[in-house]
């Protein structure tokens, strides 16, 4: 998939749409900021100095300090290292598991399909993110619990997507052609069917990451997600809410970070989708 | 298949689903790492306390026995007793239901209104500036956390104007209505982008349709075309979206209740989670899951009337 | 942003409907309450309806309203005034008190409050009350002389007994034959109010008890108490007029309360402190406890979190307590290097500890995280355990905690009572040396003059700090916000207040 | 000659609706018998929907027969086949755009097959790939292309290379040129014919195009509605078709410079539904020569060498312009 995109991009047959380029730029900016930002910023994100709490923006603290006197800009940037990897991971495991289950259901049908489809129905009968909240609670708050709980519920979307794609693809002639050549079904599924379902899966993954980062921050906002003192945007919004009247940016800025990241990734997904379809 | 047979079949399908939901709700207790009774009591609970919790939750018995007891009690309207307040869970749910229903109803109406308006506007101006602008706003809307939207509305609307309560549910009908405006608006901003995407796509396809072209050719006004030809298709899309989105909607509702301190089921759930009050968590989870199931069911039945073709498949 | 664009650009009926919805919504009047009804927003519910359990400040507000006491607390010397007992005599020869009860006192069902009820309540309190039995330790007998006269005999001279009566709640004899759970589920009130409705953790309503002996002076017909945990939510509820009394204003919010509506109790009779579990590592080691104490920068916390709203740390005794003496200045006060050195010298140089806290009454997330950060700086690995009070208390009662950040208000008026309280309530939980505490109390009681008492207090404070290690963090004020028209609000020494003295005049 | 590849009484039904207990069946193949000698090219012609592709799929092992069997050297072959059996029969499909995996480069696709069947040692794979490219007249750099980057004719050559990679004994070509531009059809066809001859393969060649069949096949079977209605060596069939349907097919083929055939058989009536059971000859409702007998009894496929199933066959007179096409 990536090779194909790279190959096509190299050939320059069709330039990436503007949407995708904007999205890619935003994503790259976040990743670079996440990698290099903490090295460039002189402050320790967890170092409190309560005597210097709630300072307005200044030459030293460009975005001021938070309620414990920590440099707010540093925490905004360091949170990239928390929110992004967890969101990407929380969507990655369900992608792997969901795609595998969906592909098996779609390819082999019969009992496999029935079992997977009924399990998916069951999960979807739940208000899934409430279920996720409750699962995280049952497992104990934290990143690992979040990823596990996200996997339990989010595989369904990937499974449905993969099942549909595989069912569409398996009736195509190249799959039959592969069967005639005597390749085992397992090999056909993994090397001929699935690679063709990957672009759509990857696009779905990107929008799922957006969802996951929002859900993660929501849980942290509710106090069930990432625990203090770790810098996390949802948690920072919750901690900034008491100071809305005097220090509105404490609640506003982390939300903007989330929003711009989500918008960037959504644009990238949309743009790639348009590009692959055209 | 006739419609009544379809509805009957659909009703019967919910029975195993609800049974499955209950299994999952029961299983919640069992995914707690280690000893669930110990986890609920807190690491510090005495052995007697833990034993008592185990007794209360029926953890001494086999899973099947627990399940049968839970389902049996649930059918009689008994979802257990809060380990914290000793209040029956059904009573807690009853007390907390009103704000949640207000929020969901008002939020849903506002979402549909917002989604319809934006979609029509975007579809009618397809590939023009307005469409792109609205499309951009939709993407941004998809990327904003609901609680943050709520806080920003507090900051930008409630604080400067002073016209809306910052939290709480108000008193009396008008008080409730006033208190629900900003939460419902937050809800709509969070929920409508997904609806807009689906609805705009459908409307764009419909506007390309021959009969719409024809209607235009014979001089029907745009609003007549909209009302006569498109509203039924649009309604179908919206019903489907409500059905698909009901799960996320409930989560958004929980988050909004917390943001605006609405004393609804969502807040009760979050509080119960904070207090490790398992029967309440189970009860509310079950309630919301049943709600989702019935919304799905209702949407399918509704669709079978508006679009009989679905019955035939 | 989306809605703003709509009316100009879209004329369809959908938007007409939306506009109608938005425009016809009236702005609701802020919850106007009928005269005679008071609504309170508080951070936590009573810990229990039972008067025998461990108590919180919420209990100390609610319980006296439901259950009358022989004497009431007062800010004036000697700290109590007549209550159910309209008068009393003390016979120093027999060390006995004779209480004359109000003839018109009655329970909320109309039945009279008799001497037998008081006798039962005294002995029940001595037997069952977790907090207060120490204060009744000197009582050897209680008997009904007649229907309205009670005689109490003490073992010897006892300066704590009378103020301890503030906490002896009058219940019907034998709780009308019910067990405690049943009785407190539907309590029969002897105080100015009766319980109307209670949703634990959510709300409680009291109604005026017409049979209370002083019912004529009860200013309110009804009190609604809402449990609103979140600081934001409680502030918002006050600002939107949902509540008349906003308890425990977070200091970050004080600027948002008009000055006329602020009610600041200063210096408050409150001590915020860290309470260690000396039964198990790491705090079974004095070095670790020393490190804990040296690690906390009390001045910075006071200056940053309670600016102008606290007094410097004096010790575990609240500055407002009669006879309180500052502990030796400088001992075990903030010094990061010493803290690190002490920790390095302890058996667990890199201890992983849990800091437990419930966000009530002066404990907010900023304070907890600030303390967490300061302990981390000194080398502790600190995990937060934030839950509601009862959960934390349950853990502490079972000895499963390392260090608990909490606030304590005085409930008596002299240091002796606080000695007894720390010894009785906290000593056993933290693994403190009760004999040493008893010795300190004894020294205080027998001290011949003020200088001797001062020395005893100082010894007590040093003992608390150095041997037991309850690490005081500060003495923040208590801030209430009181809506206009609420009259007669006044705190007791304990920072509790009596609802029956309040009236609403809108 | 006794058949090497034997197709015996082969029937294939597909459920297309109804209930599980009482399904509506599409009878794609009805009692087909074919015998193909080793090294020959066997053609199958018919209109679309006559079952010729189903026949190819059964022989290729993609579809299980409902009854009857396919056997090779006396050994029955079902749809479940071991790798080695699979390898013996390979297919070239109609649309090379669809029959090549768009996500795989040519090299990966071929390497996967060579590795899987262990046809050559790993270190000789490159050499074998080059050889295969040479066999289908494609330049070596094509190996690193994806199908999307190739033209239709090039793709079909790659599809042929894929079949050849497995060194099959039988090649099934299911309308291999019908999806290609006319300009490249001939070259692909010539390539196929050359390869079959050079490699000594047996080929089953399926087409609706009689001219192509005549050009390439040794023996031809004509199918109508799931049955073989006429089977003959190519020469016999084209010089003296006996079944009226064959005649109709031939008359529909425009031939430049040739006079119109004397008896044009119009195919005007509707083809009967492949779902319905048919009494008598399936062609009788469209047949200009039909007699009463035709509606009552189905004629059996009679004859050796040249066989036909008809109660009232065409006269075996030699075609006047018979040599014109040669």
pLDDT value of position A214: 96
Across all residues in chain C, what is the average pLDDT?
84
Contacts with C366 from chain A: Cβ below 8 Å = 50, 53, 67-68
Query: DSSP class of residue C312?
Result: -
Question: What's the sign of the alpha-carbon dihedral A140, A144, A147, A149?
Answer: negative
Per-residue CA distances from C31 to B170, C149, C227, C246, C489 (Å): 7, 47, 17, 15, 21
Taking 50 as the threshold, does the pLDDT of residue C15 lie above it?
no
Distance from CA of A80 to the nearest CA of C (A): 21
In a domain, D196, yes or no: no
Q: Which residue in C234, C239, C373 has the most chain A C-beta atoms within 10 A of its own C-beta, making it the best mutation to test that interface?
A: C373
Q: Determine contact, residues C207/C222, Cβ cutoff 8 Å.
A: yes
Say how far apart CA B199 and CA B236 lie, in whole Å. Answer: 10
Return the CA Rg of chain A.
22
Model pLDDT, residue A10? 52
What is the nearest CA distance from B258 to chain C, expressed in angstroms?
A: 9
pLDDT recorded at residue C16:
37
Return the partners of chain D (3 or more C-beta pairs < 8 Å): A
**pLDDT value at residue A187:** 92
**Shortest distance, CA A222 to any CA of chain C (angstroms):** 11
CATH number listed for the domain at residues C68-182 = 3.90.76.10
Question: ipTM for the complex?
Answer: 0.81
- Cβ neighbours of C17 in B, within 8 Å: 113
Burial class (CB in 10 A: 0-12, 13-18, 19+), C328: middle
Mean pLDDT throughout C257-286?
A: 90
Residue A134 vs residue D266, higher pLDDT = A134
Residue D284 has what pLDDT? Answer: 84
Which residues does chain B have with pLDDT short of 50? 44
Residues 236-265, chain A, touching B (beta carbon < 8 A): 237, 241, 244-245, 248, 251-252, 254-255, 258-263, 265
**Whether residue C130 has pLDDT greater than 80:** no
* Nearest by Cα to C126 from C114, C115, C139, C113: C139
- C99 Cβ partners below 8 Å, 6+ apart? C70, C85, C87, C88, C118, C149, C150, C151, C152
**Which residues, other chains included, contact C393 with Cβ-Cβ below 8 Å and sequence gap of 6+?**
C47, C54
Q: Quick check: C495 and C501 in contact, CB under 8 A?
A: no
C409/D119 Cα distance (integer angstroms)? 88
Domain count of the fold of chain D:
1
Q: D62 to chain A, minimum CA–CA distance in Å?
A: 7
Size of interface A-C (CB pairs under 8 A): 44
Given CB atoms, is A215 within the 8 Å cutoff of chain B? yes
pLDDT at C45: 87
Sheet (strand C470-476) strand order: C310-311, C470-476, C270-276, C403-409, C352-357, C381-386
Ordered by start, the domain boundaries in chain C are: 31-48+191-266+479-504, 68-182, 268-476
* Spatial separation of the C-alpha atoms in residues B115 and B132, rounded to whole Å: 15
User: Is D9 part of a structural domain of the chain?
Assistant: no
Asked if the C-beta of B19 comes within 8 angstroms of chain A's C-beta atoms, the answer is: no
For the record, the structure tokens of C89 come out as: 């005599």
**The pLDDT of residue B39:** 66
* Beta strands C478-482; C262-265: pairing state: antiparallel
In angstroms, what separates the C-alpha of D34 from chain A's closest C-alpha?
21
- Cα separations in angstroms, A241 against B141, B147, B170, B224, C222: 21, 10, 21, 47, 33
Per-residue pLDDT reduced to its tens digit, C369-405:
999 999 999 999 999 988 878 778 888 888 889 999 9
Chain A's closest residue to D56, CA to CA, is A180
Q: Among partner residues C9, C233, C399, which is closest to B261 by beta-carbon distance?
A: C233
Fold classification of C31-48+191-266+479-504 (topology level): D-Maltodextrin-Binding Protein; domain 2 (3.40.190)
Cβ <8 Å between B85 and C232: no
Residue appearing with tokens 């006197």: A69
Assess if residue D300 is contained within a domain: yes
- Give the tens place of pLDDT for each residue, B125-180: 888 999 999 999 999 999 999 999 999 999 999 888 888 877 778 778 888 888 89
Q: Residue D41: beta bridge partners?
A: D203
A64-277 is a CATH 1.10.3720.10 domain: yes
Q: Please give, rounded to a whole number of angstroms, the shortest distance from the CA of B158 to a CA of chain A.
A: 11
Q: Are the Cβ atoms of B251 and A127 closer than 8 angstroms?
A: yes
pLDDT band at C35 (very low <50, low <70, confident <90, very high): low
Q: Can you give the pLDDT at residue C25?
A: 39
Name the DSSP letter for residue A12.
T
In Å, what is the CA distance from A182 to each residue of A106, A206, B120, D59, D116?
21, 36, 53, 14, 9
Q: How far apart are CA B287 and CA A126, in angstroms?
A: 10
**B43 CA to chain C: closest CA distance, Å?**
7
Q: Which pLDDT value is given to residue C412?
A: 66
Query: D72-82 burial string, b = 16+ CB within 10 Å, else e?
Result: beeeebeeebe
What digits encode the pLDDT tens for the residues C296-335?
A: 999 999 999 998 888 888 788 887 777 777 766 557 889 9
Alpha-carbon distance of A72 to A41, in angstroms, equals 11
Question: CA of C32: which chain B residue's CA is closest?
Answer: B171
Domain extent, residue D326, equals 246-326
Q: Please identify which residue in the block is written with the tokens 């990857």.
A: A202
> In whole angstroms, what is the distance from residue B270 CA to residue D237 CA?
84
Nearest to C365 among A46, A239, A245 (CB): A239
Rounded to a whole number of angstroms, the distance between the first and last alpha carbons of chain D is: 26
CB nearest C369 (choices: A47, A51, A228): A228
* pLDDT (average), residues C495-501: 90
What confidence tens digit (pLDDT) does each residue in C201-221 have?
778 999 999 999 999 999 999
Whether residues A251 and B151 touch (CB distance < 8 A) is answered with yes
3-state SS assignment for residue D208: coil
CA-only gyration radius of chain C, Å: 25
Q: What's the rounded Cα separation, in Å, for the pair C487 and C490?
A: 9
Q: Which residues contact B166 (CB under 8 A, 6 or more apart)?
A: B154, B158, B159, B260, C236, C239, C240
Is A128 in the B-facing interface, judged by CB distances under 8 Å?
yes
Distance CA C218, CA C222 (A): 10
Q: How far apart are CA A182 and CA D79, in angstroms?
A: 11
Residue A171, pLDDT above cutoff 80? yes
Q: What is the pTM of this model?
A: 0.84
Domain C268-476: CATH superfamily, name plus number: Dipeptide-binding Protein; Domain 3 (3.10.105.10)
How far apart are the C-alpha atoms of B262 and B243, rounded to whole Å? 24
Rounded percentage of chain A residues whose pLDDT exceeds 70: 95
At C343 the pLDDT is 93
Of A33-42, A182-191, C349-358, D313-322, the least confident: D313-322
Interhelix angle for B278-306 vs A128-139, to 10°? Answer: 160
**Chain C positions with Cβ closer than 8 Å to A:** 231-232, 250, 252-253, 255-256, 300-301, 303-305, 365-366, 369-370, 372-374, 376, 384
pLDDT in tens, chain D (326 residues): 456 899 989 999 888 877 777 888 888 888 899 999 998 999 999 888 888 889 999 998 888 889 998 988 888 887 777 777 888 899 999 888 889 998 899 999 999 999 999 889 999 999 999 999 999 999 999 999 999 889 999 999 999 999 999 999 999 999 988 888 888 898 999 999 999 999 999 999 999 888 888 888 999 999 998 899 999 999 888 888 888 888 888 876 655 444 444 444 556 667 777 777 777 888 888 887 888 888 888 888 887 888 989 888 887 765 554 443 33
Domain residue extents for chain A: 64-277
Contact B251 A137 (CB under 8 A): no
What does the alpha-carbon distance between residue A16 and residue A275 come to, in Å, rounded to a whole number? 6
* Structure-token pair, residue A52: 């210097």
Chain D touches chain A, with at least 3 Cβ pairs below 8 Å, answer yes
Those residues whose C-beta lies under 8 Å from the C-beta of residue D183, and which sit 6 or more positions away, are none
- DSSP labels for D219-231? EEEEEETTEEEEE
* Domains observed in chain B: 3-75 (no CATH), 93-312 (1.10.3720.10)
Q: Is residue D85 part of a domain?
A: no
- Which residue has better confidence, B223 or A86? A86
């Amino acid at each position: 998939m990536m090779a194909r995109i790279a190959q096509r991009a190299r050939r320059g047959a069709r330039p990436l749409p503007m949407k995708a380029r904007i999205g890619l730029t935003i994503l790259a900016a976040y990743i670079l900021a996440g990698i290099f930002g903490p090295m460039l910023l002189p402050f320790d994100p967890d170092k409190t100095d309560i005597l210097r709490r709630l300072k307005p923006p200044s030459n030293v603290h460009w975005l001021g300090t938070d309620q414990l006197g920590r440099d707010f800009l540093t925490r905004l940037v360091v949170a990239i290292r928390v929110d992004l990897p967890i969101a990407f991971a929380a969507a990655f495991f369900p992608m792997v598991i969901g795609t595998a289950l969906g592909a098996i259901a779609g390819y082999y049908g019969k009992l496999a399909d029935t079992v997977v489809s009924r399990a998916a129905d069951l999960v979807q009968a739940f208000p899934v993110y409430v279920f996720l909240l409750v699962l995280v609670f049952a497992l104990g708050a934290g990143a690992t619990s979040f990823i596990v709980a996200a996997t339990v519920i989010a595989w369904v979307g990937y499974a449905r997507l993969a099942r549909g794609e595989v069912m569409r693809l398996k009736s195509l002639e190249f799959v039959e052609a592969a069967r005639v050549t005597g390749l085992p079904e397992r090999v056909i599924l993994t090397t001929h069917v699935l690679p063709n379902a990957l672009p759509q899966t990857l696009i779905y993954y990107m929008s799922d990451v957006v969802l996951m980062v929002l859900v993660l921050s929501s849980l942290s906002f509710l106090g069930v997600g990432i625990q203090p003192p770790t810098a996390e945007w949802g948690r920072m919004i919750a901690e900034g809410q008491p100071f809305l009247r005097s220090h509105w940016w404490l609640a506003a800025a982390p939300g903007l970070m989330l929003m711009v990241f989500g918008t960037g990734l959504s644009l990238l997904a949309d743009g790639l989708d348009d590009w692959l379809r055209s | 298949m006739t419609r009544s047979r379809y509805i009957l079949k659909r009703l019967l399908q919910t029975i195993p689903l609800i049974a499955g939901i209950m299994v999952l709700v029961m299983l919640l207790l069992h995914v707690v790492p280690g000893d669930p009774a110990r986890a609920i009591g807190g690491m510090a609970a005495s052995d007697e306390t833990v034993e008592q919790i185990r007794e209360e939750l029926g953890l001494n018995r086999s899973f099947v026995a627990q399940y049968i007891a839970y389902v049996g009690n649930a059918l009689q309207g008994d979802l257990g007793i809060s380990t914290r307040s000793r209040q029956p869970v059904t009573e807690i749910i009853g007390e907390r239901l009103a704000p949640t229903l207000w929020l969901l109803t008002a939020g849903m109406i506002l979402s549909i209104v917002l989604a319809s308006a934006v979609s029509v506007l975007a579809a009618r101006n397809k590939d023009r500036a307005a469409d792109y602008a609205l499309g951009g706003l939709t993407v941004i809307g998809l990327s904003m956390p609901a609680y943050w939207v709520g806080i920003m509305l507090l900051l930008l609307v409630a604080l400067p104007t002073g016209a809306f309560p910052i939290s709480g549910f108000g008193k009396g009908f008008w008080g409730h209505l006033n208190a629900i405006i900003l939460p419902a608006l937050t809800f709509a901003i969070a929920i409508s982008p997904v609806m807009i995407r689906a609805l705009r796509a459908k409307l764009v396809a419909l506007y390309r349709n021959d009969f719409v072209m024809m209607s235009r050719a014979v001089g029907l006004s745009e609003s007549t075309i909209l009302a006569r030809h498109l509203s039924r298709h649009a309604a179908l899309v919206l019903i489907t979206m409500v059905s698909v989105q009901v799960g996320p909607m409930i989560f958004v509702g929980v988050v909004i209740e917390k943001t605006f301190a609405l004393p609804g089921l969502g807040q009760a759930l979050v509080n119960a989670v904070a207090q490790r009050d398992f029967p309440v968590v189970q009860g509310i989870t079950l309630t919301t899951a049943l709600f989702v199931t019935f919304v799905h069911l209702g949407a399918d039945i509704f669709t079978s009337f508006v679009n009989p073709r679905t019955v035939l498949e | 942003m989306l809605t703003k664009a709509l009316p100009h650009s879209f004329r369809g009926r959908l938007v007409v409907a939306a506009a109608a919805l938005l425009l016809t919504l009236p702005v609701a009047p802020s919850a106007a309450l009928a005269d005679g009804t008071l609504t309170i927003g508080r951070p936590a519910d009573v810990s229990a309806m039972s008067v025998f359990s461990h108590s919180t400040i919420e209990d100390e507000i609610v319980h006296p309203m439901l259950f009358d006491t022989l004497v009431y607390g007062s800010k004036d010397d000697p700290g109590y005034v007549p209550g159910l007992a309209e008068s009393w005599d003390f016979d120093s020869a027999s060390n006995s008190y004779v209480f004359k009860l109000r003839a018109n006192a009655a329970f909320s069902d109309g039945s009279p409050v008799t001497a037998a009820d008081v006798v039962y309540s005294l002995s029940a309190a001595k037997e069952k009350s977790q907090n207060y039995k120490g204060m009744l330790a000197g009582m050897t007998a209680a008997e009904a002389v007649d229907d309205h006269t009670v005689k109490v005999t003490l073992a010897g001279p006892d300066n704590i007994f009378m103020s301890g009566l503030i906490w002896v709640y009058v219940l019907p004899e034998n709780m009308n034959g019910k067990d405690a759970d049943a009785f407190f589920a539907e309590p029969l009130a002897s105080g100015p109010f009766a319980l109307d409705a209670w949703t634990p953790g959510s709300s409680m309503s009291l109604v005026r008890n017409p049979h209370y002996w002083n019912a004529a002076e009860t200013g309110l017909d009804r009190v609604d108490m809402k449990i609103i945990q979140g600081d934001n939510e409680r502030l918002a509820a006050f600002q939107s007029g949902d509540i008349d009394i906003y308890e425990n204003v977070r200091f970050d919010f004080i600027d948002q309360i008009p000055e006329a509506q602020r009610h600041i109790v200063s210096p408050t009779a409150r001590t915020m402190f860290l309470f260690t579990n000396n039964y198990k590592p790491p705090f079974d080691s004095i070095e670790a406890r020393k490190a804990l104490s040296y690690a906390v920068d009390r001045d910075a916390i006071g200056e940053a979190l309670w600016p102008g709203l606290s007094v410097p740390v004096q010790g575990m005794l609240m500055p407002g307590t009669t006879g309180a003496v500052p502990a030796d200045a400088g001992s075990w006060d903030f010094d990061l290097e010493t803290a690190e050195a002490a920790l390095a010298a302890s058996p667990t140089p890199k201890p992983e500890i849990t800091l437990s806290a419930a966000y009530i009454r002066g404990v907010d997330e900023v304070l907890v995280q600030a303390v967490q950060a300061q302990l981390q700086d000194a080398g502790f690995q600190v995990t937060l355990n934030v839950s509601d009070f009862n959960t934390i208390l349950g853990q502490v009662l079972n000895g499963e905690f390392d260090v608990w950040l909490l606030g304590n208000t005085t409930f008596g008026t002299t240091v002796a009572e606080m000695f007894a309280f720390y010894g009785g309530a906290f000593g056993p939980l933290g693994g403190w040396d009760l004999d040493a505490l008893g010795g300190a109390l004894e020294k205080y009681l027998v001290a011949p003059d003020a200088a001797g008492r001062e020395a005893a207090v100082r010894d007590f404070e040093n003992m608390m700090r150095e041997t037991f290690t309850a690490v005081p963090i500060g003495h923040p004020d208590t801030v209430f916000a009181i809506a206009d028209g609420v009259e007669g609000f006044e705190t007791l020494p304990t920072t509790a207040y009596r609802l029956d003295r309040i009236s609403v005049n809108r | 000659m006794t058949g090497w590849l034997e197709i015996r009484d082969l029937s294939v039904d597909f459920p297309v609706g109804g209930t599980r207990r009482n399904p509506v069946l599409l009878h794609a193949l009805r009692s087909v018998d074919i015998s193909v000698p080793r090294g020959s090219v066997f053609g199958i012609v018919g209109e679309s929907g006559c079952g010729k592709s189903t026949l190819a799929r059964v022989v290729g092992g993609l579809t299980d027969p409902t009854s009857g069997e396919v056997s090779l050297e006396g050994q029955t072959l079902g749809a479940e086949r071991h790798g080695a059996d699979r390898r013996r029969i390979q297919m070239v499909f109609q649309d090379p755009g669809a029959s090549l995996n768009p996500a795989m480069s040519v090299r990966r696709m071929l390497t996967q097959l060579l590795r899987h069947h262990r046809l050559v040692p790993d270190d000789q794979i490159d050499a074998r790939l080059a050889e295969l490219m040479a066999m289908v007249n494609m330049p070596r750099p094509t190996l690193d292309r994806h199908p999307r980057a190739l033209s239709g004719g090039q793709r079909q050559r790659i599809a042929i290379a894929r079949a050849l990679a497995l060194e099959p004994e039988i090649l099934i070509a299911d309308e291999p040129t019908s999806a290609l531009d006319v300009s490249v059809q001939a070259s692909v066809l010539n390539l196929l014919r050359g390869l079959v001859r050079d490699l000594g393969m047996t080929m089953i060649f399926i087409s609706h195009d009689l001219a192509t069949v005549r050009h390439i096949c040794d023996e031809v079977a004509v199918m109508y509605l799931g049955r073989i209605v006429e089977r003959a060596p190519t020469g016999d069939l084209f010089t003296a078709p006996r079944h009226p349907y064959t005649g109709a097919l031939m008359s529909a083929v425009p031939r430049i410079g040739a006079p119109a055939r004397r008896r044009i058989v119009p195919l005007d009536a509707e083809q009967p539904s492949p779902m319905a059971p048919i009494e008598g000859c399936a062609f009788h409702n469209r047949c200009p020569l039909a007699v009463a007998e035709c509606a009552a009894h189905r004629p059996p496929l009679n004859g050796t060498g040249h066989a036909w199933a008809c109660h009232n066959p065409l006269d075996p007179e030699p075609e006047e312009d018979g040599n014109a096409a040669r």
